[in-house]
Homo-oligomer: A and B are copies of this chain.
C-alpha cells in the first residue's frame, strides 16, 4: 500500500521523570527529518512520572516504517520508557455493545458513517434484540447474547472469542446494561470504554437518575471511563454536565442526560482512536 502523504506516526511515552527526556525524543525525530505536528508532555510531580505524546509526518521521515520501532527502542530503553507507536493510516477495529437504548448507538454510527472517524465497526453485540434494526440500517452485523446469571460466564467466553476472531481493538459499551466480568475486562485491559450516566463518583451503580432526582441535585452528569474490575471506578476519560431544576421529573433527567451521555462517549472514543489517552494510577492523561 503506497503511503498517503498525510500519514503520521504517534508515539506515546511514559517513564520515570528525569532531565533531558524531551530533548532525547525530539533529537531522534529531528535526526531523521521528522516534521512534528503535535507535541505535548506532562510531568506528574507528585509521582515523578513523565508522559509525552508526539505526532510527526511520515512523508519526510527517513526511516522506513518497519525500522522505526527498533530504532526508537535504542533511545527508549536506557531511559526506562514504556511506549507505543501508532500509524494514522492503520484503521482500528471497534465493537459496540448495546442493550435497549439507541441514542449512543446512533451517535457512534452516524459519526462513523459520515466519515468523521477512521475506524472499522464490524460488530454490534447486545443482550437484547431491540436494536437489531438500527444495526441493519447502517449495514453492521448484530449479534445477540442473552444474559442470565447462569449463562453469563459461557456467553462472555463466546464474546471474547468472537471479538478476537474479528481482531477488535476497542470495545465501546454504549449504554450496555450488563456488568462485564473481571475475566472479560482482563482480556481487553484499557480497551473497553463505558459511558456511565452520572457525574462519577456520584451515583455509582444502577438508576443514577433516580438517585439524582431523590437527592435534588441542580446538575446531572455523564462520565466516560475505561472499564476495570471495580464497578464505575475505572480511569475517567471525559465528563460533562447539564443543568436541571425542580421542574425536571425523572423522565426529564433521562431525556436531558441522553444528550450529554452521547457527546461525552463520542469525545472519549475519539480521544482513544487518536491515541491521545495514557492510563496510569487509575487516572488518565488526555493529550487533546
Chain A: residues with CB nearer than 8 A to chain B? Answer: 19-20, 22-24, 26-27, 29-30, 33-37, 39-46, 51, 60, 102-103, 106-107, 110, 113-114, 116, 137-138, 199-203, 215-219, 221, 235-241, 245-247, 249, 255, 259, 263, 266, 281-286
Please name the residue on chain B nearest to A24 by beta carbon: B30
Bound together, the chains give a CA A235 to CA B236 distance in angstroms of 28
Bound together, the chains give a CA A286 to CA B36 distance in angstroms of 20
Please name the residue on chain B nearest to A115 by beta carbon: B102
| Given A19-B30, A263-B259, also A217-B203 (CB < 8 A) | no
Oligomeric state, in copies: 4
Bound together, the chains give a CA A221 to CA B22 distance in angstroms of 34
Chain B min CB distance to A236 (Å): 5
- The A interface is mostly helix, strand or loop, or mixed, namely mixed
Contact A216–B283 (Cβ < 8 Å): yes
Supply 17 A–B pairs (Cβ within 8 Å), ascending by A.
A19-B30, A19-B33, A19-B36, A37-B43, A40-B40, A102-B113, A137-B138, A199-B219, A200-B202, A201-B203, A216-B235, A216-B281, A216-B282, A218-B236, A218-B237, A259-B263, A259-B266
